[in-house]
Amino acid sequence: MAPAPPEEAPEELLRADRLPFERRYSWSGRFARLRQEARSDLEGFWGGIARRELRWERPFDRVLGGTPPEYRWFEGGELNAAVNCLERHHSTATAHRVAYYWEGEDGSRRTVSYADLYERVRRLASALAERGFGRSDRAAIYLPMVPELPVAMLALAYLGIPFTVVFSGFSAEALAHRMNDLDARLLLTAEVGFRRGKEVPLLATARAAAAQCEHLEQVIVLRRTANPPALQERELDWGELLAHRSPPVEPVPLPSAHPLFLLYSSGTTGTPKGIVHGTAGYLTHLAATMRWVFDPGPVDVLWCAADVGWVTGHSYIVFGPLLCGATSVLYEGALDYPGPARVYEILERYRVSELYTSPTALRSLRRQGDELAGSHDLGALRLLGSVGEPINPSVWEWYFRVIGAGRCPIVDTWWQTETGGIMVSPVPALDSRPLKPGSATLAIPGVDVAVLRDNGTECPAGERGLAVIRQPWPGMLLGLWNDPERYRSTYWSRFPGVYYTGDYAVRDADGYLWFLGRADEVLKVAGHRIGTAEVEGALLQHPAVAEAAVCAVPDDLKGEVPVAVVVLRSGALASPTLAEELAEMVGGRIGKFARPHRVLFVGRLPRTRSGKIMRRVVRGVIVHGKELGDLSTLEEEASVEEVRAAADSLAGDLAPSRATR
Ligand code: WTA
What is the pLDDT at residue 18? 42
Contacts of 357 (CB under 8 A, 6+ apart): 304, 305, 306, 385, 386, 387
Interval 540-569 mean pLDDT: 95
Q: Range of 529's domain?
A: 521-660
DSSP for 474-485? TT---EETT-HH
Q: Is the pLDDT of residue 634 over 80?
A: yes
Q: Which residues line ligand 1 (CB under 6 A)?
A: 265, 310-312, 386-390, 412-417, 440, 501-503, 515, 518, 524, 529
Task: Give the Å distance between the CA of 553 and the centre of ligand 1.
Answer: 17
Interval 234-250 mean pLDDT: 94
What is the pLDDT at residue 94? 96
User: Does 221 reside within a domain?
Assistant: yes
Tell me the per-residue pLDDT of 583-607, one tens digit each, with 9 for 90 and over.
999 999 999 999 999 999 999 999 9
Percent of the chain's residues with pLDDT above 90: 84
Out of 193, 227, 252, pick the residue that ends a domain: 252
Instruction: Name the domain count of the chain.
Output: 2
User: Does 296 reside within a domain?
Assistant: no
Out of 252, 286, 304, pick the residue that ends a domain: 252
Interval 477-491 mean pLDDT: 96
**C-alpha distances out from residue 660 to 11, 514, 555, 655, Å:** 8, 21, 11, 9
Interval 88-100 mean pLDDT: 96
What is the pLDDT at residue 371? 97
Interval 228-252 mean pLDDT: 95
Q: Is the pLDDT of residue 632 over 90?
A: no
Task: Give the Å distance between the CA of 453 and the centre of ligand 1.
Answer: 20
Pick the residue whose CA is nearest to atom 24 on ligand 1: 416
CATH, residue 119: 3.40.50.980
At residue 628 the predicted structure's pLDDT band, cuts being 50, 70 and 90, is low
Of 14, 16, 10, the closest CA to residue 660 belongs to 10
Percent of the chain's residues with pLDDT above 70: 93
Q: How far apart are CA 616 and CA 602, in angstroms?
A: 16
Tell me the per-residue pLDDT of 303-325, one tens digit each, with 9 for 90 and over.
999 999 999 999 999 999 999 99
User: Does 589 reside within a domain?
Assistant: yes
Q: How far apart are CA 228 and CA 245, in angstroms?
A: 23
At residue 256 the predicted structure's pLDDT band, cuts being 50, 70 and 90, is very high
User: Does 20 reside within a domain?
Assistant: no
Q: Is the pLDDT of residue 660 over 50?
A: no
Q: Locate the ligand 1 atom nearest the alpha carbon of residue 265 and give its number.
A: 18
**C-alpha distances out from residue 569 to 161, 500, 585, 649, Å:** 46, 38, 17, 21
User: Does 151 reside within a domain?
Assistant: yes
> How many CA atoms lie less than 13 Å away from 392 in the CB half-sphere?
20
What is the pLDDT at residue 28? 55
User: Does 9 reside within a domain?
Assistant: no
Q: Is the pLDDT of residue 650 over 90?
A: no
At residue 5 the predicted structure's pLDDT band, cuts being 50, 70 and 90, is very low
What is the pLDDT at residue 513? 97
What is the pLDDT at residue 635? 82
Q: Is the pLDDT of residue 528 over 80?
A: yes
Average predicted confidence (pLDDT) for the chain: 92
CATH, residue 630: 3.30.300.30
At residue 245 the predicted structure's pLDDT band, cuts being 50, 70 and 90, is confident
Out of 227, 252, 277, pick the residue that ends a domain: 252
What is the pLDDT at residue 311? 97
At residue 627 the predicted structure's pLDDT band, cuts being 50, 70 and 90, is low
Question: Which of 384, 466, 500, 515 for mutating ligand 1's site (highest number of atoms within 8 Å of CB)?
Answer: 515
User: Does 414 reside within a domain?
Assistant: no
Q: How many CB atoms are closer than 10 A to CB 347?
A: 24
At residue 6 the predicted structure's pLDDT band, cuts being 50, 70 and 90, is very low
Task: Give the Å distance between the CA of 416 and the centre of ligand 1.
Answer: 5
| 265-269, 381-385, 560-564: least confident range | 265-269
Tell me the per-residue pLDDT of 363-374, one tens digit each, with 9 for 90 and over.
999 999 999 999
User: Does 134 reside within a domain?
Assistant: yes
Question: Which of 263, 275, 363, 414 for mutating ligand 1's site (highest number of atoms within 8 Å of CB)?
Answer: 414
